[in-house]
């Protein structure tokens, strides 16, 4: 593979300013330019993009600037012989810090007081509402970059960390690792269940009414993965009937979440607009990944984060 152009697709603007991405990717050898949906590609192009487009299959290599690549047709990339890489590995601080924020808000009731602040409302939560994270159990589902970051931070806060990973192998700072077929048992004692897995055929609809019923009535679900990992109606019912105590959702079934969606006003929910990974240096993190792979191509090595 010989890369003669890096084409930054305009959809990148969903995650960071286009100009910043172009500037960060500029190097001495390969020209960088922005492209829109009218662009065409050939076998010397690398495309850097947020969203997939069919025309990208004509390029040599497409780099998706998100960790999840569920929107890309991996089979079509393999059939076309187009290399596809993703951005796993750069979200180990951002998303876990956001998760700690959700957990802290629920335990210390910060989201409730922030809501009341607008009404100059001094009402204090009931005596039995606040609790400490220390000593509580968290179940981290998916122990990759994000899951390990959540495990490290929650362990440091004195939480009892259990996790779910396909191999079942031990993980650092995780006291007990379950396999996906033991998910019921993994969530049963947890005060928090944090979803950090990709959206795949296996994980779609994984959190359904039956799994929510296995969770404690005083537990919270955190979804920083992808919306369809959770069955929407099942979660809404579980929040309404007190099957679980609350949920923090950064990933949704439809994005933006529709204006009339019941979660917006749900007092037990924290809704964020898919920003758990946001950082003012996202463009630099992506550029470092792309540049590392450009160098690997020059050296004839295999690419990092290759998914097709
Ligand atoms: P990663 O590839 O480093 O880790 C994912 C882990 O999940 C892997 O270890 C994988 O083996 C594991 N896994 C797969 N199926 C599983 C299952 N059924 N049960 C348990 N574990 C399973 O990816 P990452 O960077 O940690 O990101 C994870 C996911 O989080 C992404 O695929 C993406 O969907 C989502 N994400 C969301 C945001 C956001 O802004 N909210 C940002 C980045 C990533």
Give the CA distances from residue 294 to residues 7, 216, 299, in Å, rounded to whole numbers and listed in that order.
13, 48, 9
What the block records as the tokens of 208 is: 């359904």
Which residues pair with residue 203 across a beta bridge? none
Residue 84 has what pLDDT? 98
Q: Is 52 in the pocket of ligand 1 (CB under 6 A)?
A: no
Q: Is 27 in the pocket of ligand 1 (CB under 6 A)?
A: no
List the strands of the sheet with 160-164, edge to edge: 176-178, 160-164, 137-141, 192-195, 220-223, 246-249, 269-271
Handedness of CA 297, 299, 300, 301 (dihedral sign): negative
Query: Of all atoms in ligand 1, which is nearest to the CA of residue 87?
Result: 25
Whether this model's ipTM surpasses 0.95 comes out as yes
Residue 167 has what pLDDT? 97
Q: Is 224 in the pocket of ligand 1 (CB under 6 A)?
A: yes
Question: For residue 184, how far is its CA from the centre of ligand 1 (angstroms)?
Answer: 19
List the strands of the sheet with 45-49, edge to edge: 32-35, 5-9, 45-49, 61-64, 83-85
Residue whose CA is closest, atom 4 of ligand 1? 144
Residue 204 has what pLDDT? 98
Residue 131 has what pLDDT? 98
10-residue mean pLDDT series, the chain (308 residues):
96 97 93 97 98 98 97 98 98 98 98 97 98 98 98 98 98 98 98 98 98 98 98 98 98 98 96 97 97 95 97
Question: For residue 144, how far is its CA from the centre of ligand 1 (angstroms)?
Answer: 6
The residue whose two tokens read 């019941």 is 262
Residue whose CA is closest, atom 42 of ligand 1? 277
Q: Show which residues are catalytic.
A: 226, 255, 274
Residue 28 has what pLDDT? 82
């Amino acid at each position: 593979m010989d890369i003669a152009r890096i084409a930054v697709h305009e959809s990148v603007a969903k995650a960071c300013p286009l100009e910043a991405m172009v500037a960060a990717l500029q190097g001495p050898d390969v020209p960088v330019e922005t492209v829109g949906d009218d662009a065409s590609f050939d076998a010397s192009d690398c495309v850097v993009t947020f969203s997939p487009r069919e025309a990208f299959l004509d390029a040599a290599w497409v780099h998706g600037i998100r960790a999840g690549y569920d929107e890309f047709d991996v089979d079509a990339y393999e059939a076309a012989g187009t290399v596809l890489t993703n951005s796993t590995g750069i979200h180990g601080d951002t998303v876990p810090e956001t998760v700690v924020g959700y957990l802290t808000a629920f335990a210390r009731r910060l989201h409730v007081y922030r809501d009341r602040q607008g009404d100059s409302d001094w009402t204090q939560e009931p005596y039995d509402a606040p609790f400490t994270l220390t000593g509580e159990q968290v179940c981290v589902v998916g122990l990759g970059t994000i899951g390990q970051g959540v495990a490290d931070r929650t362990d440091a806060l004195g939480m009892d960390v259990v996790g779910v990973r396909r191999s079942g192998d031990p993980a650092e700072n995780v006291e007990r690792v379950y396999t996906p077929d033991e998910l019921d048992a993994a969530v049963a004692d947890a005060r928090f269940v944090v979803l950090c897995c990709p959206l795949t055929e296996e994980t779609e609809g994984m959190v359904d009414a039956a799994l929510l019923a296995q969770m404690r009535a005083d537990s919270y679900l955190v979804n920083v993965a992808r919306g369809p990992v959770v069955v929407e109606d099942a979660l809404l019912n579980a929040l309404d009937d007190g099957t679980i105590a609350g949920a923090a959702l950064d990933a949704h079934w439809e994005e933006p979440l529709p204006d009339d969606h019941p979660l917006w006003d749900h007092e037990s929910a924290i809704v964020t607009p898919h920003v758990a990974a946001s950082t003012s240096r996202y463009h630099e993190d992506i550029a470092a990944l792309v540049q590392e792979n450009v160098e690997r191509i020059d050296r004839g090595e295999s690419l990092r984060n290759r998914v097709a």
